[in-house]
Amino acid sequence: MNFENILVDIQDTVAKITINRPKKLNALNKKTIQELHTAFKEIQSYTDVQAVILTGSGEKAFVAGADISEFANFSEEEGANLAKEGQEKLFDFVENLTKPVIAAVNGFALGGGLELAMACHFRIASENAKMGLPEVSLGVIPGYGGTQRLPQLIGKGKAMEMILTAGMISAEDAKEYGLVNHVTTLEDLLPLAEKLAIKIAKNSSVAISKAIEAVNANYKDGVDGYYVEIENFGNCFETEDFKEGTTAFLEKRKPDFPGE
Ligand code: COA
């Protein structure tokens, strides 16, 4: 896969996507959003890949937000379309991907950058990371799902404070809030992401996709998450992975999941 603004590196079962506009602190312009969509879509079809790591290039930023230079002159309609298209193409797409995506937050994750990290299935961060939704300081509100996912992850009160003050929090505070799961040195960030991804990849990919769907169901309007869990639990019993997982356990050996 060849792109202008992102790098894709696949090693065995793990794909790494690096947003690569370091001079613009990896800000998300239209082209980058399209490239990310294409890369995630393609990776979703690769049966060998079982986990994805998303990070930013350089030592300063994961993503410093949506590219402000692209929307500064937008009308109301263009603004709404920007949010809608971005949510569909990237943020909702990542959240609903059948393969787990780990955000390795290596610096500033602001605005659309934090929203992208929040659309991933979980996040880890380096100690230099800073996170925030500064949109109201620009006269706009978060438009890529930030007003919804931040309260889901850290609770309404803390989310309101972050959104209304437009302030940034440190990696340690983000861990305390439950926004990131682990904080490491910058040097250890990708090795930890890889370790977690490899651990995930040892499990049944079919069960993992069913688990992602069931967890996400809790956050979808008009969907009964418990019902989705029952359905997906039942579905697993028809899979080769389930047969292999249970047989391997009973035979006291490690499973070799076919991913079917
Ligand atoms: N959109 C477009 N360009 C951006 C950007 C964004 N969200 N964030 C950073 N950049 C660009 C800067 O314009 C600058 O480009 P230039 O060198 O061509 O002038 C380059 O990235 C480096 O950023 P700079 O501001 O010089 O770095 P800094 O270390 O002084 O400050 C930040 C870092 C993250 C505090 C600052 O860049 C910033 O506040 N960015 C915007 C964050 C934001 O509001 N995001 C939400 C958007 S809705």
Residue 140 burial by CB count (10 A; 0-12/13-18/19+): exposed, middle or buried?
middle
In this prediction, residue 65 has a pLDDT band, given cuts at 50, 70 and 90, of very high
Residue range 83-108, pLDDT digits in tens: 999 999 999 999 999 999 999 999 99
Residue range 117-140, pLDDT digits in tens: 999 999 999 999 999 999 999 999
- How many angstroms separate the Cα of 91 from the Cα of each of 27, 34, 112, 113, 187? 15, 11, 9, 10, 27
Given this model, what pLDDT does residue 254 score? 95
- Whether 135 is catalytic: yes
d(CA 74, CA 117): 25
d(CA 222, CA 57): 39
Query: 128 in helix, strand or coil?
Result: coil
- Give the residue-averaged pLDDT of 46-71: 97
In this prediction, residue 23 has a pLDDT band, given cuts at 50, 70 and 90, of very high
- Whether 115 is catalytic: yes
Q: Which of 42, 85, 95, 115 is catalytic?
A: 115
Q: How far is the centre of ligand 1, averaged over its atoms, from the C-alpha of 68 (Å)?
A: 9
In this prediction, residue 1 has a pLDDT band, given cuts at 50, 70 and 90, of confident
Q: How far is the centre of ligand 1, averaged over its atoms, from the C-alpha of 162 (Å)?
A: 19
Q: What's the whole-model pTM score? A: 0.97
d(CA 173, CA 87): 27
Question: What secondary structure, in 3-state letters, does 194-255 show?
Answer: HHHHHHHHCCCHHHHHHHHHHHHHCCCCCCCHHHHHHHHHHHHCCCHHHHHHHHHHHCCCCC
- Give the residue-averaged pLDDT of 47-56: 97
Q: How far is the centre of ligand 1, averaged over its atoms, from the C-alpha of 28 (Å)?
A: 11
Q: How far is the centre of ligand 1, averaged over its atoms, from the C-alpha of 91 (Å)?
A: 21
As a 3-state breakdown, the chain gives helix, strand, coil percent values, each rounded to 5, of: 50, 15, 30
Ligand 1 pocket, residues with Cβ under 6 angstroms? 24-25, 27, 64-69, 108, 110-112, 134-135, 138
Q: Which of 24, 115, 136 should be mutated for ligand 1, with most atoms under 8 A from CB?
A: 24
Residue range 150-207, pLDDT digits in tens: 999 999 999 999 999 999 999 999 999 999 999 999 999 999 999 999 999 999 999 9
Q: Tokens representing 169?
A: 């929090």
Given this model, what pLDDT does residue 161 score? 98
Q: Which of 135, 161, 194, 251 is catalytic?
A: 135
In this prediction, residue 208 has a pLDDT band, given cuts at 50, 70 and 90, of very high
